Amino acid sequence: MSMIGAWLASDTPSTYRQAVAGRFWRGTLGLRHQPMILTGTSIVLVFAVIAIAAPLIAPYSPTAQDLALNLRPPSAAHWLGTDELGRDILARLIWGARITLGIVALVSVITAPIGLILGCAAGYAGGWIEAALMRVTDVFLALPRLILALAFVAASGPGIENAVLAIAIVAWPPYARVARAETLALKHAEFIEAARLAGASPLRIVLRHILPLCLPSVIVRMSLDMAGVILTAAGLGFLGLGAQPPSPEWGAMIASGRQYMVDQWWVAAMPGIAIAAVSLAFNLLGDGMRDWLDPKQK
Amino acid sequence: MWRAARIVPTAALTLLGLLFATFLIARVVPIDPVLAILGDRASPESYARVHAELGLDRPIYVQFARYLAGIAHLDFGRSALTHNLVTEDIGRFFPATIELATVATVLGVGFGIPAGVWASWRRGRAADHAIRMIGLFGYSVPVFWLGMMALLVFYVQLGWAAGPGQIDTGYEDFVPVTTGFLVIDAALAGDWAAFGNAVSHLVLPAAVLAYFSFAYISRLTRSFMLQELSQEYIVAARAKGLSERRVLWVHAFRNVRLPLITVIALSYASLLEGSVLTETVFSWPGIGQYITNSLLSIDMNAVLGGTLVVGVVFIALNLLADLLYRVLDPRAR
Amino acid sequence: MVYVLAADQAGRFTELTQAKPQTHNRPMNHWKLTALTVLLAGLAAPALADTPKDTIVMVKQIDDIVSLDPAEAYEISGGEVIGNTYDQLVDYDPGAPGKIKPALATSWRIDPDGRTFTFILRDGVHFESGAPLTAADAAFSLRRAVEIDKAPAVTLNAIGLTKDNVADAVVALDEHALQIKLPKPLAPSFVLFCLTSLTGSILDSKTVLAHEVDKDKGLTWLASHWAGTGPYRLVMWRPNEYYALEANPNYWGDPPKSRRIVVRDVKEAEMQRLMLQRGDADYARDLDKVQLDALAKEPGIKFDKGIKTSIDYLGLNQKNQYLSKPEVIEALKYLVDYDGIAGAILGDSAVVHQSFEPVGFLGAIDDAPYQFDLAKAKALLAKAGLADGFAVTMDVRNGSPWPEIAQAIQASFAQAGIKLELIPGDGKQVLTKYRARHHDIFLGDWAPDYPDPHSNAEGFITNPDNGDDSTVRTPAWRNFWRDAAMNDAVAAALLERDDAKRAGLYQGLQHEFQRKAPFVMLFEHVEVAARRGDVSGLGIGVNTLFDRYDGIAKH
């Protein structure tokens, strides 16, 4: 046990596996003292379970209409009331969790590899490649992202695919920065030198040795951004540029609830609370993770 | 100063990036620009003529060059929606946005900085946690939803604030335009009824935006202060028996003023950009609403003109922040 | 957006911080968090309510207006502005439907050949420029509308005026007499009704020409300016914001009761209701059932009702492989829950109406043969070989109640396996696409140009050339639908001089249309305008052109 512990806690990892494992080990040790991370993770997990189990737990179909029972306040039959077409708001929120978390997952899947590869490549290659890639990243960072995303979606046609694409196009630069910084720090580590001496190609070194080590920082950075992604997607939905009816996207639900705000406040209020809850959870998680993992904070 | 000079190519490149992005967006629009000008009853001859006039038969790089040339002459074309030159429209709508963002930033700074300083001083205590949570909630709640709920509570239920719009419809067009900023114009004209009315309309959207500004500024103020308070000279100052107020405000805060200026510039830039969502909720006749309306009617001249102007101001504020940071902040050297 | 960037920049900046725990003992005494609340509350000055006495404020959806030039405006809201700011030669008499009354022409004569109409113009009418109204202005205005050849020109095209003949057909005989010589004889009432339309508005020729650029006949300028003789003058139109009218000091008739009318674009019905309730508006024009139900309980709110000629319908594009099957067309007519939508979504603001002629028009029928019937629809789809349904898209404009209606239709179509994808858009965007025939299904409304049954018969049936470059771009053309026999029947009805026989012809057309046309006729609008109790006098006409502001007064 103690040998494994010492191996994990080593400050001078001799292989990349040891480095990765050690990082996670050191992190896990402190996790129980991190209420923000625990709370955030729990809420995110609850929503993830809800999203996955939507068909099982939703009390009604998210699109089933009952015009005779529209705009009813919360009751035993409809816990969160019904909307303007008599659809159950709870059921729509539950199914909407799929859309929101799906967008988050898709954006992550698209942006993380782009950011990681560009950042690691820039950091490892150095020279003019690094200068060029980082200049491009800086340009993207300084652009007004929300407005460009809006203009892109408006031009390419409203819809959830274009919304995801628009968010992804503007969301990758921070990850490239983080990955480059990590790569610069790792570039001259002993085990990297060892791999290089053993004849590994630069491509292999970047992909097999450096990239996995950059992952934790990028994940921290992403968890910080997730709330922003959720809010941007909801904003696009609110303006009618994101998910299209009858899809129970939360932002679009708020937009249609505007019509009934005064007397049927629950139609707009409920999806807003759902958005706030999920993005607060991601913010807690991200904020906590940064405090916890960022070595500079210690 | 060479540090400052180094920003010039970045600025130029970023601007070019923005122009190229907007140009590309204009290219993917599914609406035929010729039909947009001529209407759907155009004859094939006039179609071909306008097609050539617009340069649509030229290679893409020539088109981009023409696009740049047009922008260099501040020619964004005419809005299909308003029939005005896009530059005229922007001149009319932008002041309303600036008015709102400025008041919001002033409020955000006024409350955010004291809150951040206080939180840093009470680090780990209830006050710190409370301010952090208020800030985190600000990062998490959709601005358009908060705006709706604020209208519901403060306009509908309590009647404390005026409703959507910049001024009551009855006062519309009565205030002579001098600066373009309605509140200032009303005051200059001595029309205090209009002034009061405009202020009552401004309060609610400004307060909602100020909350987001507060969340951002208080959080970063706290961070900067914590860093400053850990420095040796603070320990020394405390050891000399200086009052806490003096230590906080005179010694520590003096050193975070510069990075805070950059933070405020960035916060201001993001409020300008965020106007596309808030102005819709409050029917605020600013550039955000102009862009949103144009987006929904695919009035691309207006969309691109608006996007460019907001983008340029945004980039300028970003670069200004960067510049101040590089030149003035000792830690960056 | 605030938070996206904020999160970024937060990350960027906090990387620099290296905080250490601090310990402090002295209590905090300068700022209290409560100060925030107190100050914010103090800033909130009490809101001013109530609109000025001589100004009437309306809230309305006016985002469809693209121009206020009578030669270009063809949108529903624009008609209301033109109706209040321009006059035509003759006017529709709201007190006696189907009758014509004098307007800028005080009398007219029709020669026995049935082709030559001579109008004598009113004396002492002046434009804002000070110029008196002459027959030359009238001739200029009618020619201009035909020559500009935008959508409104169809009304004058209908009486035989074309780009090629209008210069000779419409002439000023002298200062006061205008002669229109038609290429072929037509029923006189039909010709006069056409001249009541907004296309027949009379402009100040000198003012318009003074603002001509690139030989556009003043089209660019007049889109947002005014050169008319109506009871109100246009002060300002700001698209998607508001338009403001002021009493025209030169008006030849009785002066309007209120000096200033401001119509503000408020898209959300709920917001309209709030503004009315709080006294920020005197009239709210686009309320849905929910708001009307809520306002009915308010003591200070009254309602004005009037049936409109606007008819909601689905246009089924015949270019679509599924929608062109006769069984599918019929099945879709059984797949709309007419009563459910009317009851739950529209309430007082519409009635189910399944024929193309509006209530009260010559020959209009009021039977409604279709109701939601899933079994029948499924059987028809099976007969068409589409038992498993199919996928199509439907274009629909934003703004209540369109999305709600669309989603109700989407749900009932889904029961028969038809996957309906909704494409929402701004009014102009949806119309542009529809006019370019790029839709599958279009959900929207249609209002006749003049109160004669030919207007809608022509709109929904006439399609002489189904090609893409046709000049007749009626809904029938937009949906690629051409029925040769019915086209001929419409043309024949137009020449019938006996009113009873003519009514019979239109009845037959409507029945045939109900059976086979690729249009699902849904509802006819009833305008319910909610107003504050101290205001009254809005004239709700059958067409927006006849919605009149001049009687509105605040007591």
Our CA dihedral for C542, C545, C551, C554, rounded to 10 degrees, sits at 100
Closest CA of chain B from C10, distance in Å: 7
Local structure of residue C107 (DSSP, 8 states):
E
pLDDT(C43) > 80? no
Query: Can you give the pLDDT at residue B181?
Result: 86
Chosen from A65, A220, A224, A298 to mutate, greatest number of chain C CBs within 10 A: A65
Query: Can you give the pLDDT at residue C40?
Result: 40
Q: Which of C343, C288, C350, C400 is nearest to A68 (CA)?
A: C343
Chain B from 12 to 51: CB within 8 A of any A CB: 13-14, 17-18, 21-22, 25-26, 28-30
pLDDT digits (tens, 9 = 90+) for C13-23: 322 233 333 33
Query: Can you give the pLDDT at residue B172?
Result: 67
pLDDT(B239) > 90? no
* Contact state of C45 with B203 under an 8 Å Cβ cutoff: yes
B38 and B176 within one domain: no
Closest CA of chain C from B168, distance in Å: 7
B182 and B142 within one domain: yes
Q: Residue C3 — very low, low, confident or very high, per pLDDT cuts 50/70/90?
A: very low
pLDDT(B29) > 80? no
Give chain C positions within 8 Å (CB) of B207. Answer: 40, 43
pLDDT(B320) > 90? no
Domain assignment of residue B168, yes or no: yes
* Contact state of C290 with A71 under an 8 Å Cβ cutoff: yes
B164 and B284 within one domain: yes
pLDDT(C1) > 60? no
Q: Residue B16 — very low, low, confident or very high, per pLDDT cuts 50/70/90?
A: confident
Closest CA of chain B from C70, distance in Å: 16
pLDDT digits (tens, 9 = 90+) for B262-317: 889 889 988 988 888 899 899 898 999 998 888 777 777 888 888 888 888 888 88
pLDDT digits (tens, 9 = 90+) for A92-106: 999 999 999 999 999
Query: Can you give the pLDDT at residue B330?
Result: 57
What would the mean pLDDT of A278-287 be, rounded to a whole number? 91
B155 and B65 within one domain: no
Choices 1.10.10.60, 3.40.50.1360, 3.40.50.1950, 3.10.105.10: CATH for C308-526: 3.10.105.10
Closest CA of chain C from A9, distance in Å: 23
* Contact state of B296 with A265 under an 8 Å Cβ cutoff: no
Q: What is the pTM of this model?
A: 0.78
Q: Residue A190 — very low, low, confident or very high, per pLDDT cuts 50/70/90?
A: confident
pLDDT digits (tens, 9 = 90+) for B90-122: 998 999 999 999 999 999 999 999 999 999 888
Residue C4 CB contacts under 8 Å (≥ 6 apart), including other chains: A145, A146, A225, A228, A229, A231, A232, B270
* Contact state of C20 with B197 under an 8 Å Cβ cutoff: no
**Chain C interface includes B197 (CB < 8 A):** yes
Q: Tell me which chain C residue has its CA closest to the CA of residue A264.
A: C290
Give chain A positions within 8 Å (CB) of C424. Answer: 158, 240, 244-245
What would the mean pLDDT of C153-157 be, rounded to a whole number? 87
Query: Can you give the pLDDT at residue C29?
Result: 37
B221 and B162 within one domain: yes
Cα gap C518→A104, rounded to integer Å: 43
* Contact state of B17 with A235 under an 8 Å Cβ cutoff: no
What's the CATH superfamily of C2-67+230-300+533-554?
Answer: Periplasmic binding protein-like II (3.40.190.10)
Q: Report the range of poorest mean pLDDT among A269-278, B190-199, B200-209.
A: B190-199
Closest CA of chain A from C199, distance in Å: 34
B38 and B126 within one domain: no
Chain B from 257 to 286: CB within 8 A of any A CB: 269, 273-274, 276-277, 280
* Contact state of A279 with B140 under an 8 Å Cβ cutoff: yes
Closest CA of chain B from C96, distance in Å: 36
* Number of domains within chain A: 1
Q: Tell me which chain B residue has its CA closest to the CA of residue C235.
A: B173
**How many CA atoms, within 13 angstroms, populate the side-chain half-sphere of residue A146?**
33
Task: Count Cβ atoms within 10 A of the Cβ of residue B41 and give its class: 0-12 exposed, 13-18 middle, 19 or more buried.
Answer: middle
Q: Over pLDDT 70: what percentage of chain B?
A: 88
Write the residue in B41, B140, B216 that is nearest to C149 by C-beta: B41
pLDDT(C11) > 70? no
By residue range, what is the domain housing residue B276?
95-332
Task: Count Cβ atoms within 10 A of the Cβ of residue B231 and give its class: 0-12 exposed, 13-18 middle, 19 or more buried.
Answer: middle
The b-or-e profile of B114-145 (16+ CB within 10 A means b, else e) is: bbbbbbbbbbeeebbeebbebbbbbbbbbbbb
Cα gap B281→B141, rounded to integer Å: 15
pLDDT(A15) > 90? no
Residue A23 CB contacts under 8 Å (≥ 6 apart), including other chains: A213, A216
Q: Tell me which chain A residue has its CA closest to the CA of residue B18.
A: A143
Task: Provide the total of helices (H) and of strands (E) in chain B, helices listed first.
Answer: 15, 0
B160 and B50 within one domain: no
Place of tokens 């009578």: C70
Give chain A positions within 8 Å (CB) of C271. Answer: 258
pLDDT digits (tens, 9 = 90+) for C54-78: 889 999 999 888 899 999 988 889 9
What would the mean pLDDT of C47-53 be, rounded to a whole number? 57
Write the residue in B142, B306, B311 that is nearest to A231 by C-beta: B142
What would the mean pLDDT of A72-94 be, rounded to a whole number? 92
Domain assignment of residue B5, yes or no: no
* Contact state of C31 with B118 under an 8 Å Cβ cutoff: yes
**Strand-pair category, C55-60 with C105-110:** unpaired
Domain assignment of residue B305, yes or no: yes
Query: Can you give the pLDDT at residue C429?
Result: 72
Query: Can you give the pLDDT at residue C252?
Result: 94
By residue range, what is the domain housing residue A61?
2-297
pLDDT(B125) > 90? no
Chain C residues touching chain A at CB-CB below 8 Å:
1, 3-5, 7-8, 10-12, 14-15, 17-19, 268-271, 273-274, 288, 290, 294, 337, 340-341, 343-345, 398, 400, 403-404, 406-408, 410-411, 414, 421-424
pLDDT digits (tens, 9 = 90+) for B217-230: 999 999 888 888 88
Q: Report the range of poorest mean pLDDT among A162-166, B248-252, C318-322.
A: B248-252
Query: Which CATH number goes with the domain that contains A87?
Result: 1.10.3720.10
Phi, psi of C86 (to 5 degrees): -120, 160
* Contact state of C4 with A244 under an 8 Å Cβ cutoff: no
Dihedral (CA of A263, A97, A103, B138) sign:
positive
Place of tokens 């067009």: B173
Q: Tell me which chain C residue has its CA closest to the CA of residue B37.
A: C220
Amino acid (1-letter code) at residue C81? V
Find chains touching chain C: ≥3 CB pairs under 8 Å. Answer: A, B
**How many CA atoms, within 13 angstroms, populate the side-chain half-sphere of residue B131?**
31
Q: Tell me which chain B residue has its CA closest to the CA of residue C36.
A: B111
Phi, psi of B266 (to 5 degrees): -65, -40
Query: Can you give the pLDDT at residue C460?
Result: 95
pLDDT(C374) > 70? yes
pLDDT digits (tens, 9 = 90+) for B50-70: 677 767 777 778 888 888 888
Q: Tell me which chain C residue has its CA closest to the CA of residue A257.
A: C270
Q: Report the range of poorest mean pLDDT among C84-93, C251-260, C443-452.
A: C443-452
Local structure of residue C545 (DSSP, 8 states):
G
pLDDT(C511) > 70? yes
Find chains touching chain A: ≥3 CB pairs under 8 Å. Answer: B, C
Query: Which CATH number goes with the domain that contains B211?
Result: 1.10.3720.10
Give chain A positions within 8 Å (CB) of B274. Answer: 146
Closest CA of chain C from A69, distance in Å: 9
* Number of domains within chain B: 2
Q: What is the mean pLDDT of chain C?
A: 86
Q: Residue C12 — very low, low, confident or very high, per pLDDT cuts 50/70/90?
A: very low
Cα gap B5→A289, rounded to integer Å: 37
Closest CA of chain C from A270, distance in Å: 18
Give chain C positions within 8 Å (CB) of B224. Answer: 13, 17
pLDDT(A202) > 90? no
Class of domain C87-210: alpha beta
pLDDT(B28) > 70? no
* Domain spans, chain C: 2-67+230-300+533-554, 87-210, 308-526
